[in-house]
């Protein structure tokens, strides 16, 4: 997970990751969340902790540390211990250096903070999370490893105390007002590395004297949970996705391309979010039948279903034709061989708006 000549090899090797994740959630055979307790099965604990994989530590508002063995929480993951190789990649994108202050945005289980403390020293590292329990638990476990970063409990979409030479975020930031405090916390001349919510785009850049962050979309991708302000993520567009499963649709057509699991087609998913911010997805298979669902906060929805790779039957309703928008993106990908995202220039303005450009292509995210 770490190159033999990497300066991060020793920190990763020295951090006892299992101590940061004594309990975690895994999907069982039916897809339900099942609690795993490390101390009761040391062999499985070590195997999970030292594999290069993310471990889900919180589902909805229920942390694994606080759960009972028969608990079966429902909802989306809200915190995890990120896989070590991805943590190292984000740290590399952050261009850390001796004596530079670092904000670890999204404490989680404390893995990034631990690596950074080992590499940079405690005095250079601040770690922030919205969840008081996560901050407290990570702080206690880090202290047992003799790591003492500054720990802050705060909602980064509203306030980020202090200023920092480097910000590395392992939560996905939402362009617009919620990104403004993070941009404001970056020191002039400082560098940020983050992903954007509902995309897999890694954004890096340097803050200039005017307060803009100038950089690029890295030719690298990652998926992180979006920032949240409360105990859980806002409710998904459940009613609209249910409607998409059942309704006939105002507009019916035959799609041009096979049904795709958009959520796992990272570049398509990212371009869809850039084009139509806020789209939520679902996907299911039934034998050889594949069905994709899209829903937008404005009330638009789409359903596309087909056997294997046959042209799908598409149902759509609402003010926007979501599947048509996705097919335009896929058509561009097929015609040009690539989408303009990876390698695009980025400008983050102090108001939190993300401006993207590549050649003649332009897009903005978060503008009102």
Average pLDDT over residues 343-349: 98
What local confidence, expressed as pLDDT, does residue 238 receive?
A: 82
Residue 3 has pLDDT above 80, yes or no: no
Is residue 6 predicted with pLDDT exceeding 90?
Answer: no
Contacts of 100 (CB under 8 A, 6+ apart): 120, 124, 165, 166
Distances (CA, A) of 320 to 27, 50, 191, 253, 292: 35, 46, 37, 15, 17
List the CATH code of the domain at 84-229+344-365.
3.40.50.150
1 pLDDT higher than 70: no
Band (pLDDT 50/70/90 cuts) for residue 101 is: very high
pLDDT above 90: residue 23: yes
Give the integer Cα–Cα distance in Å for 21 and 204: 29
Decide which of 3 and 106 is more confident: 106
pLDDT range class, residue 81, cuts 50, 70, 90: very high
pLDDT for 236: 74
pLDDT tens-digit profile of 65-78? 999 999 999 888 99
pLDDT band at 336 (very low <50, low <70, confident <90, very high): very high
pLDDT in tens, 259-309: 999 999 999 999 999 999 999 999 999 999 999 999 999 999 999 999 999
Higher pLDDT, 11 or 63: 63
Q: According to the 3-state scheme, what is the secondary structure of 310-364?
A: CCCEEEEECCCCHHHHHHHHHHHHHHHCCCCCCCCEEEECCCCCEEEEECCEEEE
| pLDDT score at 31 | 86
- Residue 8 pLDDT class (50, 70, 90 cuts): confident
Mean pLDDT on 180-185: 98
- pLDDT at position 233: 75
Domain ranges of the chain: 9-81, 84-229+344-365, 238-336
For 238-336, which CATH class?
Answer: alpha beta
Residues 306-319, mean pLDDT to the nearest whole number: 96
- Residue 193 has what pLDDT? 98
Q: What is the pLDDT of residue 30?
A: 87
**Could you count the other beta carbons within 10 Å of the beta carbon of residue 56?**
20
What pLDDT, on the 0 to 100 scale, is given for residue 304?
A: 97
Q: How are strands ordered across the β-sheet holding 280-286?
A: 251-254, 313-317, 301-307, 289-295, 280-286
100-114, 167-181, 218-232, 255-269: least confidently modelled range: 218-232
Q: What pairs with residue 204 in β-bridges?
A: 193, 216
- What's the whole-number mean pLDDT along residues 325-341? 96
Per-chain mean pLDDT for the chain: 95
State the pLDDT at residue 228: 85
Alpha-carbon gap, residue 127 to 171, rounded angstroms? 12
């Amino acid at each position: 997970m770490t190159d033999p000549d990497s300066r991060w090899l020793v920190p990763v090797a020295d951090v006892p990751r299992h101590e940061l994740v004594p309990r975690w959630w895994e999907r069982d055979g039916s897809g339900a969340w099942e609690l795993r307790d490390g101390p009761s099965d040391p062999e499985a604990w070590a195997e999970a902790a030292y594999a290069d994989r993310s471990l889900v530590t919180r589902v909805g508002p229920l942390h694994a540390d606080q759960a009972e063995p028969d608990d079966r929480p429902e909802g989306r993951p809200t915190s995890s211990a990120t896989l070590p190789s991805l943590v190292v990649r984000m740290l590399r994108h952050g261009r850390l250096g001796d004596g530079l202050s670092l904000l670890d945005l999204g404490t989680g289980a404390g893995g990034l903070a631990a690596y950074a403390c080992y590499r940079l020293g405690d005095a250079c590292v601040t770690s922030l999370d919205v969840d008081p329990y996560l901050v407290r638990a990570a702080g206690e476990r880090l202290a047992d490893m003799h790591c003492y970063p500054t720990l802050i409990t705060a909602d980064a979409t509203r306030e980020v105390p202090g200023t920092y030479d480097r910000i590395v975020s392992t939560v996905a930031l939402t362009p617009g007002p919620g990104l403004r405090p993070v941009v404001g916390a970056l020191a002039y001349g400082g560098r940020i590395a983050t992903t954007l919510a509902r995309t897999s785009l890694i954004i890096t850049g340097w803050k200039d004297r005017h307060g803009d962050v100038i950089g690029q979309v890295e030719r690298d991708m990652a998926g992180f949970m979006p920032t949240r302000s409360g105990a859980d993520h806002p409710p998904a567009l459940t009613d609209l996705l249910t409607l998409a499963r059942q309704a006939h649709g105002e507009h019916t057509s035959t799609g041009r391309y096979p049904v795709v699991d958009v959520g796992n087609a990272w570049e398509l998913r990212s371009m869809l979010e850039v084009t139509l911010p806020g789209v939520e997805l679902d996907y299911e298979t039934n034998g050889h039948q594949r069905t994709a669902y899209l829903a937008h906060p404005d009330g638009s929805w789409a359903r596309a279903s087909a056997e294997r790779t046959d042209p799908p039957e598409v149902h759509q309703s609402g003010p926007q034709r979501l599947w048509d928008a996705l097919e335009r993106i896929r058509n561009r990908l097929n015609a040009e061989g690539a989408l303009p995202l990876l390698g695009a220039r980025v400008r983050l303005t102090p108001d939190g708006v993300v401006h993207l450009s590549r050649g003649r292509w332009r897009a903005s995210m978060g503008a009102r």
